[in-house]
Amino acid sequence: MANVIDDAAIEYLGVLAKLALSQEEKEAAKADMGRMLDYIDKLNELDTSGVQPMSHVFPVKNVFREDVVENGDGREALLANGPECTGEAFVVPKTIG
C-alpha cells in the first residue's frame, strides 16, 4: 500500500500532525514512510479474521471517582513554564478576528 504516500498525502499528514516540513523533509518523509509501510504490510500475511482487536492486555474499564480537588493552587509554577504569559494566563496569538 506504500504507493498511497504521494505529495498530497504528505501535505495532509502535515496538517494532521501539525508539522511544517521543508521541501527536503517532505521528500525524505515520503521515502521513509513508503518504506515503513511496505515493511508494515508484512502484517497482511497474517490471517486475523475473527480476531478481536486488543487495545489493552488487561481488562480495563473506566475508573470513576468523586470529583474532589486534591492538589493545591499551582498556578504560579505552571505559568512559569509558559513561553508567554500574563500573571494569570498563557498568551497566544489573536485567534478571533
Partner 1 sequence: MSILELTAVELGKRIKTGQVTVEEAVQASLDQIKKAEQKVNAFVTVDEEGALRRAEEVQKKINRGELRGPLAGVPAALKDNLCTKGLLTTCCSKILYNFVPSYTAEAVLHLERAGAVILGKTNMDEFAMGSTTETSAYGETRNPWNLDHVPGGSSGGSCAAVAVNECFYALGSDTGGSIRQPSSFCGVTGFKPTYGTVSRYGLIAYGSSLDQIGPVAKDVTDCAAILEAIASYDPKDSTSIRREDNRFTEALVDEVRGLRIGIPRDYFGEGLNPQVRDTILGAADVLRQKGAIVEEFDLSLVEYGVPAYYVIASAEASSNLSRFDGVKYGYRSPSYKDLYSMYKKSRSEGFGPEVKRRIMLGAFVLSSGYYDAYYVKAQKTKALIKRAFDQAFQSFDVILAPASPDTAPRLGQSLRDPIQMYLGDIYTISANLVGLPGLTVPCGTDSSGLPIGMQLIGDCFQEKKLIRAGFAFERSRCYQGPAMAKELEQSTPNPYVGEASSAQGSIWEKGGK
Closest approach of Cβ 88 to partner 1, in Å?
14
18 contributes a contact to partner 1 by CB under 8 A:
yes
Strand partners, 85: 90
Among 69, 65, 85, smallest CA distance to 77 is for 85
Q: Tell me the residue length of the chain.
A: 97
Among 22, 24, 26, 23, smallest CA distance to 10 is for 26
Please list every residue from 55 through 84 that binds partner 1, using CB under 8 A: 55-58, 60, 63, 65, 71, 74, 77-78, 80-84
The pair phi, psi for residue 27, each rounded to 5°, is -65, -45
Per CB under 8 A, residues contacting partner 1 are 1, 4-5, 9, 12-14, 16-21, 25, 28-29, 32-33, 35-37, 39-40, 42-46, 48, 51-58, 60, 63, 65, 71, 74, 77-78, 80-84, 90, 92-95
